[in-house]
Amino acid sequence: MSSKLNKQLSELVSFIKKGDQFNPKVSNKGTYWHLDHSLQVLHAILKALTNSNPEDYQPKFSLPKLMIMTTGFIPRGKGRAPKQTIPAGKISEEELFSALEKIKEAKKNLNDLSKNNHFRHPLFGCLNLNDAIKFMRIHTQHHLKIMRDIVK
């Protein structure tokens, strides 16, 4: 996994330690919501990459994919998270640390995967291994920016 994503994971840990903070001028969700969502997305992508069959990889053109993957920027408030990655209920520090451990365990397999192991994004279609890792960095960065603004 890229060193940039590892640095982002370290920053996520720092936000867990700061506790759940809110700033309605930035987001109607608190930092723990953004943390939990980010961790759920990372885990889901890592799991999908590991379980995918490289022979089933079918790339497709997507203008939103092209724009986001090229610019590395996700506009705030424009996308909607899939139901399975929306945190429900109160989120504890212990749950966040547990999710981080699952991600650390799941990412150990990345070096053994084929370049055509893939993750199916609801809007972008299939993302191969390299694109999926890039998307994980972009998505995590998006939520880190929001959390930084919340705690300012």
Give a three-class secondary structure readout of 70-122: HHCCCCCCCCCCCHHHCCCCCCCHHHHHHHHHHHHHHHCCHHHCCCCCEEEEC
- What integer best gives the mean pLDDT of the chain? 95
pLDDT in tens, 37-68: 999 999 999 999 999 999 999 999 999 999 99
Determine the Cα–Cα distance for residues 127 and 90; give it in Å rounded to an integer.
32
pTM of the full structure: 0.95
pLDDT value of residue 125: 96
pLDDT value of residue 1: 56
Banded pLDDT at 80 (limits 50, 70, 90): confident
pLDDT in tens, 119-136: 999 999 999 999 999 999
Average the pLDDT over 9-38 and give the result.
96
pLDDT in tens, 105-116: 999 989 999 999
Q: What is the DSSP letter of 125?
A: E
Q: What angle do CA 123, 119, 139 make, to 5 degrees?
A: 65
Domains of the chain (ranges; CATH) run: 3-151 (1.20.120)
Banded pLDDT at 30 (limits 50, 70, 90): very high
